[in-house]
Structure 1
Amino acid sequence: MKRLVVALSAALLLGACGTAPETSAQVSDAKAVVQADGKFNDTDVMYLQMMVAHHEQGLEMVRLAEKTAKRDDVKILARAVDATQSDEVTLMKSWLTQWRKPTTVDHAPSAHADHGGLPATGPEEIEALRKAKGAAFETAFLNLFVAHQHNAVEMTQVEKTGGVNAETKAFADRVHDSRTDQIKQMLTMMNA
């Protein structure tokens, strides 16, 4: 499954930057990738809205790491996450738009009480990360981002147990697996 996601991402990136000629089959495949046809329910919508917000927080953190980190492995991880999550935000918003649903989530804590609340990295934590420098930044980033990606893994359970849209459930599976792998990678990096 991971190879399929990587292959699809590579094909989309190559087609988008003009380095490979676009064929009608590639256009058709790209359209198939971004469609979330079939029935959907409130859980599918809520999951995507929450993940858009979660991803946008993650993007804020990795973009700080791209600029501030000194370690090459941290910078490489940040760039990879930036590329992946930027594409995923576009995909999720396209599905919500296709369903004629808002692409943003209600940030009021009471709006998400039924499913354990909206997992979030607080503004204080991001501000502390902004102020950290050198090795302290990398330690803070890795610790914060492990927790952030753990929240993404937990959020997939909501979709996997309550969602009905096949594409959204498959997306949740991919998020679960890729973020679990990222967490393992970052834990190894923390002990390096």
Structure 2
Amino acid sequence: MSENRSLIRRTTAVAAAVAASLVLAACGGADGGATAGHGGHTAPSSRPQSLSPTASPSAARGQHNAADVAFAQMMIPHHRQAVEMADLAPTRAGSAEVKQLAEAIKKAQDPEIRTLSGWLTAWGEQVPATGAGDHSAHGAGGGMMTAEEMDRLGKASGKAFDTAFMELMIKHHEGAVAMAETERTQGAHPEAKTMAEAIISSQSAEIATMKELLGKN
């Protein structure tokens, strides 16, 4: 058990470090280097201006292309679903490790949703609406869960929930990593590419953690 907790702490530390680098990169792109307040998945005073759902001068000035827009519009519903899955863990998970992992996922991805929404607003692009469409926005791709899979997860508890949560989240994370890889190679917006790197690093670490925990289940 102590080994599992140490594994979770290491994974959370990796995610926090990656999130911190993302914040520093975003702040560096703001006017005069001014500061504004995943994973590390992560107080208002230290968050980059682009976390706001309103257009920021930094994001509006930044060069972007169609790949950046697609990345933001696909990742927002993807992250929303991960947060929805993580929200089930406090009352349904059986192990402390799964609860800690779910908390780390929510802390990382909530701020990233705000950042992505702010970029789209600044670029004059549509921010994906919330709702049931989140479950099918990617069709069968992107690692998105179907409404049926989400329903089954919501009805599970204890060890059955832990196993289902990790198996589904591994698939979900793999989809996010693939989208982030595309952004890293095809995107033009510096801050979006930095976020993509953060997602690849933090979610790959979480995938490794979940696979190890499943092996010990």
For normalisation by structure 2, the TM-score amounts to 0.70
Q: Distance in 2 between matches of 1:127 and 1:55?
A: 18
- How far apart are 1:144 and its partner, in Å? 0.5
Q: Distance in 2 between matches of 1:145 and 1:69?
A: 14
Compared CA separation, residues 118 and 185, structure 1 to 2 (3 A)? closer
Q: Distance in 2 between matches of 1:184 and 1:4?
A: 16
Count of matched residue pairs: 174
Q: Is the 8 A contact 2:95 2:158 kept in 1?
A: no
Tell me the amino acid that sits aligned with residue 162 of structure 2: E
Of 127, 144, 160, the residue aligned with 1:136 is: 160
- How far apart are 1:4 and its partner, in Å? 5.6
Compared CA separation, residues 4 and 136, structure 1 to 2 (3 A)? closer
After TM superposition, list the pairs within 5 Å mapping 1:56-67 onto structure 2.
Answer: 56-67=80-91
- How far apart are 1:78 and its partner, in Å? 0.7
Q: Distance in 2 between matches of 1:124 and 1:32?
A: 34
- How far apart are 1:188 and its partner, in Å? 1.3
Aligned to 1:19: none
Compared CA separation, residues 156 and 136, structure 1 to 2 (3 A)? same
Structure 1: tracts of 5 or more residues without a match: 17-21
Higher mean alpha-carbon deviation, 122-131 vs 154-163, is at 154-163
Q: Is the 8 A contact 2:74 2:138 kept in 1?
A: no
After TM superposition, list the pairs within 5 Å mapping 1:17-56 onto structure 2.
Answer: 30-31=48-49, 35-36=58-59, 37-56=61-80
- How far apart are 1:39 and its partner, in Å? 1.2
Q: Distance in 2 between matches of 1:6 and 1:45?
A: 23
Compared CA separation, residues 47 and 65, structure 1 to 2 (3 A)? same
Q: Distance in 2 between matches of 1:118 and 1:180?
A: 15
- How far apart are 1:6 and its partner, in Å? 3.2
Of 151, 162, 171, the residue aligned with 2:195 is: 171
Aligned to 2:27: none
Percent of aligned pairs with the same amino acid: 32
- How far apart are 1:117 and its partner, in Å? 5.2
Compared CA separation, residues 144 and 101, structure 1 to 2 (3 A)? same
1:15 aligns with 2:43: yes
- How far apart are 1:43 and its partner, in Å? 1.1
After TM superposition, list the pairs within 5 Å mapping 1:40-119 onto structure 2.
Answer: 40-104=64-128, 118-119=142-143
- How far apart are 1:168 and its partner, in Å? 0.8
Aligned to 2:19: 5
Aligned-partner SS, 1:185:
helix
1:52-84 CA-partner distances (Å, limit 9, x unpaired)? 010011111111112211211111111111111
Structure 2: tracts of 5 or more residues without a match: 1-13, 25-35, 53-57
Over aligned residue pairs, what C-alpha RMSD do you find?
2.9
For normalisation by structure 1, the TM-score amounts to 0.79
